[in-house]
Structure 1
Amino acid sequence: MPTISTTDGVEIFYKDWGSGKPIVFSHGWPLSSDDWDAQMMFFLGHGYRVIAHDRRGHGRSAQVADGHDMDHYADDLAALTAHLDLREAVHVGHSTGGGEVAHYIARHGEARVAKGVLISSVPPLMLQTEANPGGLPKSVFDGFQEQTAQHRSTFYRWLASEPFYGFNRDGVEPDQAIIDNWWRQGMMGGAKAHYDGIVAFSQTDFTEDLKKITVPVLVMHGDDDQIVPYADSAPLSAALLKSGTLKTYKGFPHGMPTTQAETINADLLAFIQS
């Protein structure tokens, strides 16, 4: 399997398919690069080079005990882009991966970056604070951590079966194969990485990161997102970006790159080609 070793000795698995303009995909919690299958195959078929890695502690990357924070996530992504010597790359992040993309661009600069895309993403800040009253209470994320530590398999099955893809909505038919694939990806990763990652995606404030970014960024979000609520994420992120474009999808769930792949892929292609 292709891997790189980070400066702190962590083996990071990655996929690198095709040639042409590079598109780099950063996955959400607690999944893996496999979550981008529909996008990677689509863009590979359109002549692009597609790259995706398993975040440290996730998927096929090393299940290390430490470094499960946004600084390490961004630095691991920077190590991958440097190793592959990517230029003029488009960085696409879903959920936690959107935070990773924003922090990477702000922390490591735009020399290798052409554009960014934040899909159903956690910025600017998920946690409810005095400055962010629309965020979710810390008790929500404490519950996530408790369930991850004590009942991870059951908790992951519930997340995939109900809120992540909106399968708990009236008139929406659950897709068991999608549920099983989500659970498979989640259970491949390490419980410690996933436990710590909840703090990383919920408590990191990306406000200053977003303000630093000057390349064009497309912010895509469904207004029925039950994981990262729309009102306190996408519109605020788009407003903080110097060159941000907000695209809102009526009724789409958090996992829309999978359940609404045809729509999302077409809009991604239009943005990348623009």
Structure 2
Amino acid sequence: MSVAPGFTRSTITTNGTDLSVLHGGHGEPLVLLHGWPQTGDCWLPILPALTEAGYTVVVPDLRGLGRSAPAETGFDKDNQAEDIRALLRTLGLGPAAHVAGHDVGGMVAFAWARRHPDEVRSLTLMELAVPGLGLEQAMDVAHGGRWHFGLFMTPHVPELLIDGHEDEFFDLWYAQFAGDTNPLASHEVSRYTDAYRGRERLRSSFGHYRTLLDDGRANAAWVDAGNRLTMPVLAVGGDQAVGDRLATSLRAVAPQVDAAVVAGSGHFLAEEQPARLAERLLAFLAQQ
């Protein structure tokens, strides 16, 4: 299923690229930004609960990913925040919205909140380490960091290695990062694999990684200048993945941080534990 009941899919030209977006519901805007290696479809299991609670939900495929057009540039998270701001304007929504992001989408959400705090009513970050606020430690394999960052950041190499082996690679990826109590179904993995298949799509996807050092420098400079997030923040992790580490890292830059650890979940919260995630997200939004 690619279009949820009550939702419309459209393609919008914004900030020099074409983005595919799913939107539906009525009420305050709530933007959901997906991570890697997924598309906006990752949010499908929780969309009914969000619209029933009274939100207009906006679900783009990020620059170069999913049904959005392939892209060669513009992957820094500051620029991608401008992608989504312009998309909202085209839809006649905003400028203020609740913003939630998972994984790489959380990095875009953080950039939006940092650059335009008056536009972000609340910020929900899920399952990531923020560039400049802990991601660099997560990238350091010499001290237990994840192996994939250095590979994906290297120009040309990962797309050369994975092209033609997408099924094997992404089967391994989802098995490694999903929780052991509720892994993703094979048809869900296949849907994302198809969205990333081929060298052009793979290259677009790795563009999100190849700006991470620049993203970290931008965030660190903002922190060093004495800035802080002013909106309410919810930090969510799976108990078999990030856990409460994200919340801990954010407390240095955000005075209003709520932490939620989702039981029985690995990295892919919305698909592994949709009911628990929706309940926690809606409880947070209801307080704003």
What is the TM-score with the length of structure 1 in the denominator?
0.83
Match of 1:222 in 2: 238
Match of 1:199 in 2: 210
Deviation at 1:243, TM superposition (A): 1.3
Aligned counterpart for 1:92 among listed residues 70, 91, 100:
100
Deviation at 1:191, TM superposition (A): 1.5
Q: 5+ unaligned residues in a row in structure 2: which ranges?
A: 1-8
Aligned partners of 1:209, 1:78: CA distance in 2, in Å? 20
Match of 1:59 in 2: 66
Match of 1:156 in 2: 170
Relative to structure 1, is the Cα distance of residues 45 and 247 closer, same or farther in structure 2, using a 3 angstrom cutoff? same
The letter of the residue matching 1:66 is: T
Deviation at 1:195, TM superposition (A): 1.7
Relative to structure 1, is the Cα distance of residues 140 and 176 closer, same or farther in structure 2, using a 3 angstrom cutoff? closer
Deviation at 1:144, TM superposition (A): 3.9
Q: CA RMSD in A?
A: 2.9
Match of 1:40 in 2: 47
Aligned partners of 1:20, 1:106: CA distance in 2, in Å? 24
What is the TM-score with the length of structure 2 in the denominator?
0.80
- Tell me if the contact between 2:127 and 2:237 (Cα under 8 Å) persists in the aligned partners: yes
Aligned counterpart for 2:258 among listed residues 232, 245, 251:
245
Fraction of identical pairs, as percent? 23
Number of residues paired by the alignment? 263
- Tell me if the contact between 1:4 and 1:12 (Cα under 8 Å) persists in the aligned partners: yes
Deviations 1:73-114 (A, max 9, x none): 11111211232331542101011111110101112x133321
The letter of the residue matching 2:32 is: F
Match of 2:6 in 1: none
Aligned partners of 2:139, 2:60: CA distance in 1, in Å? 35
Q: 5+ unaligned residues in a row in structure 1: which ranges?
A: none
- Tell me if the contact between 1:28 and 1:94 (Cα under 8 Å) persists in the aligned partners: yes
- Tell me if the contact between 1:126 and 1:203 (Cα under 8 Å) persists in the aligned partners: no
Runs of 4+ deviating beyond 6 Å: none
Relative to structure 1, is the Cα distance of residues 16 and 257 closer, same or farther in structure 2, using a 3 angstrom cutoff? same
- Tell me if the contact between 2:102 and 2:127 (Cα under 8 Å) persists in the aligned partners: yes
The letter of the residue matching 1:17 is: G
The letter of the residue matching 1:45 is: E
The letter of the residue matching 2:236 is: M
Residues 6-25 of structure 1 correspond to what in structure 2 (within 5 A)?
A: 6-7=14-15, 9-25=16-32
